[in-house]
Amino acid sequence: MIEERSSRYAALLLRLTLGLLFIAHLYWKFEILPGGVAKWWSGFQTNGYPWIVPWYVISAEFAGAVLLIPGIYTRWVSLYAIPLMIGATQFWWVRRGFYFTSAGGELPFLWASTLLVQALLGDGPYAVRVGALHMIRRSRRLATASPSV
């Protein structure tokens, strides 16, 4: 049985955790990684990925870092970032195996799973409501609900 009163806070906790993980990952990429973003970026070319892949990866990470914490388009951002984590899972699983202890695909697999759970749960409480989107949805509902003459 799901506890209705407190279960909605699971979406909030997951949203905050994922957003903070994206921030930490970007910080690592820009500040800690020897060679910085340039080295990270060149790794895609070295491994034979198309030119668009690093652009997608960085955009998904920024979207996760900037939009998940306040809860803006949470479902869409989570769905947008899932292919990133599936790709990371495949990359590390093939090279290092599954287990985290050998830098394998276990952690990106877990991250992809939590992004899917977030997409299923939705925003949770204390999410920023984007006014323009809600106004469009409301006007569509009103247009379809009004009787035709």
Of residues 144 and 37, more confidently modeled? 37
For residue 7, the model assigns a pLDDT of 82
Query: Residue 33 — left, alpha, or beta (φ > 0 → left; ψ -120 to 50 → alpha)?
Result: beta
For residue 102, the model assigns a pLDDT of 76
pLDDT bin (cut points 50, 70, 90) of residue 130 is confident
CA angle, 7 as apex, 69 and 88 as ends, to 5°? 50
For residue 6, the model assigns a pLDDT of 84
17 neighbors 117 (Cβ within 8 angstroms): no
pLDDT averaged over the chain?
89
pLDDT bin (cut points 50, 70, 90) of residue 137 is low
The model scores a pTM over 0.85:
no
For residue 92, the model assigns a pLDDT of 86
pLDDT bin (cut points 50, 70, 90) of residue 133 is low
Cβ atoms within 10 Å, residue 1:
3
